[in-house]
Amino acid sequence: MTKNLCEEYCAGQAGRFFPEHFADESARRRVVARACRPLDPAVAAELESQNARYAPSASRSRHLRMLRDGAAAVVTGQQVGLFLGPLFNLYKAASSIRAAKQLAEETGAPVVPVFWLQTEDHDLVEVSSCHVPRAEGEDLSLALPASSDDRISMAHLRLPAAVTQLLDSLRVELRELPHATDHLERLARHYQPGVRWVDAFGAAMAEIFAVEGLVIVDPRVPAFASIAAALHRRAIEEATPIATTLLARSAEIEAVGAAPTVHVRDRAPLSFFHPAGPDGPRYRLEAVDGGWREVGGRGFHSTAELLSRLENEPLCFSTSVLLRPVLQDSLLPTAAYVGGPGEVSYFAQLGPLYDAFQLPMPLVVPRAGFRLVEEKTRRLLDRLGVEADCAALGEDEILLRATAGAASSPGDEIRRALLEPFVANLRSHADELAGAGDGMASAIKKAESSVEHAVGRLVSKYENRLRQRSSEMVEAVVRVKSSLNPMGVPQERRFGLSYFAARYGERDLIERVLEAVLPFSPETRDLSCTGPR
C-alpha cells in the first residue's frame, strides 16, 4: 500500500523531507525568529493598496503596518472559487488566524495571518461550481460555464452574466432560512457580472474575516513582477539542474513507499509562459533541441526569446504549483504555511527547490478539518449508534457497526448451527486423521479455519441483506452519508458556506470554527451546528 505523505508527516515519520515539525514548539520559535523582517517597501505599498479596496478593518490595517515594520506571516491560500468555494477555504483561513495568534503568544513576536489568492492558476473548471445541501434529494449544484481548454489565469477572468441567475437560484433555495438575507446580500455585493473572480472572492473573504484582520494578497500584479521575474529567470536558465534535484527527491519519496504528489518533468522549467500576453493562455514549457516547446500549444521559443520577453513583459510568465511557494516566500516573511493534505504532501518535494533559490522552507502546518454535524444528523447517528467519522465508510460497513452492540446478531444461531456440528465431528476424528502421516495436523487446523471463515462470510452477507431490508435504518445511513460524506467526498470538499451561513448565521458559524481550531493539531473534528448561541 502506498504511504500517505501527509499522514506520515503528521505522525512525525517524514522528517527527512521536512526540516521542522509543526508539533515542535522550539521549531515554531525558530521559524518565527528567522522570518521576521520588514517588507520590501514596494511590496508593503502594494499590499496596502490591494487591501484598501476591501471593506475597512482596523485589525487588517494594524496587521499591514506590522508587516511593513517586520512581522512574520502565517500564510495560506487557495484558488478563487464561486461563492467562496468549498468549506475548507474557510477552515484554511481560520487555521492561519489561530496559528498566527498562537505563534505570537509563544514567541512574543508579531505574527500576521495572510491569505494568498492563487490567481495565476488557470483551472476554471475546478472553481466554477458550488454545491448546496438539501434536506431531501440531491444537492443543489450551481455552475458557471467553464472549459478545460481555457488556459487564462484566473486574475484576468471576469464573472459572466449567468452569475446573477445562480444568485437567484441560491436565493430561492435558502429563502426560508433565518440568516439567508445577510449572507446573500454579501455575495450579491461582490459576485456581480463583469467583476473579476479575484475581486469577488477577495472582497467577500476580507469582509468575513474583517474582525480577525486577515490580510489578502493577489500575487499577479505589476508591483510584484520584478521579484517574480528574477525567479522565472533562474527557473529557465537553471531548468536542468533544478529538475534533476527535484527528480532525485521524487525518487527518495518513492523509495520510502510513497508517491510524489506533483509530477516533475526532466529539464522542464517550473514557469508557465503566456505567449499572447499576460491575459492570454498560459503553457508549460518542455525542453527540446534548440529551445522550448509549448505543452498544449503550438509555439517554439529560444531561451534568448523567453528571457527577452521576461525582461520586457514579466507578467507573460506565471508560476507552477511547485514554484508558487518560492514566489510567496520571496515576497512575504513566511514563518509557516497552512495547507491541506495535498499541499502538505507536495511540500515534501520542495526542499531541493528552496535550496536552489537559497530560501528557508517554512514550517508546514496542516489545516484544521471539520465535519459540521447538524442536530438532525446527530439524531440519526445516535439512532444508528455510530460516530460521525463512520460516514466515510460504505453503507454495508455502517450498517454492520450500527448493530455491533446488540446482544446477539441475527446470524448467531445460523453460525452456531453450521459450525458446531462440523467442528465437533472434525475434532472427534482428529486423531484418526492425524495418524495418516506428516502434515495432517496442520491440514486439520487449516480446514477448520477455512470453514469458519467461509461460514463467517456467508453469515455476514445474510446479516447485511437483513439490514438492507430495514428501510428505516438504510435511509438513516444514506442521510448521514449525504450530509457528512456527500458523493463519496468529505463534506468540507463538497459543500460551500452558503447553506450553513443562511441557517446558523455567518458570523456565528465563523466564530464557532475559530474557537474549534486547535492550532498545530491536524485531526478532523466534529463541530455541532445548533441555533444561535
The per-residue pLDDT for range 299-358, each reduced to its tens digit, is 999 999 999 999 999 999 999 999 999 999 999 999 999 999 999 999 999 999 999 999
Give φ, ψ of 436 to 5 degrees: -70, -20
Mean pLDDT, rounded, for 148-176: 96
Q: What is the pLDDT of residue 420?
A: 84
Round to whole Å and give the CA distance between 412 and 4: 38
> What is the crossing angle of helices 506-516 and 87-107, to 10°?
50
User: Is 406's pLDDT higher than 60?
Assistant: no
What pLDDT does residue 471 have? 73
Whether 405 shows a pLDDT value over 60: the answer reads: no
Task: Write down the H helix ranges in 282-428.
Answer: 303-312, 324-331, 341-347, 351-356, 375-384, 395-402, 412-428
* Rounded average pLDDT over 366-371: 97
Question: Which strand (E) or helix (H) includes residue 73?
Answer: strand 72-78
Residue 135 has which C-alpha cell? Answer: 434536506
- Average pLDDT value for residue range 100-108: 98
For residue 410, pLDDT over 80 is answered with no
Whether the predicted pLDDT of 468 surpasses 80: no
- pLDDT average, residue stretch 405-431: 77
Q: What is the pTM of this model?
A: 0.88
Q: What pLDDT does 127 receive?
A: 96
Using the predicted structure, report yes or no on whether residue 463 has a pLDDT greater than 80: no
Q: Is the pLDDT of residue 407 over 50?
A: no
Find the range with the poorest average confidence among 219-223, 346-350, 504-508, 528-532: 528-532
Could you tell me the residue ranges of all domains in the chain?
5-226+329-367, 372-495
Averaged pLDDT score across all residues of the chain: 93
pLDDT for the residue 429: 85
| pLDDT category of residue 441 using cuts at 50, 70 and 90 | confident
Dist. CA 213–CA 228, nearest whole Å: 26
Comparing 409 with 350, the larger pLDDT belongs to 350
Distance from CA of residue 480 to its chain's centroid?
22
3 state DSSP class of 111: strand
Residue 347 · residue 361 · CB < 8 Å? yes
Query: pLDDT band at 138, cuts 50/70/90?
Result: confident
Residue type present at position 531: G
Per-residue pLDDT at 467: 63
Low-confidence winner among 326-330, 447-451, 460-464 (lowest mean pLDDT): 460-464
Can you tell me the distance from the alpha carbon of 304 to that of 307, in angstroms, rounded to the nearest whole number? 5
Cβ atoms 100, 113 nearer than 8 A: yes
Q: Which of 195, 217, 251, 13 is nearest to 114 (CA)?
A: 217
DSSP secondary structure letters along 257-300: TB--SS---TT--SEEE-TT-TTSB-EEEEEETTEEEEETS--E
CB 110 within 8 A of CB 66: yes
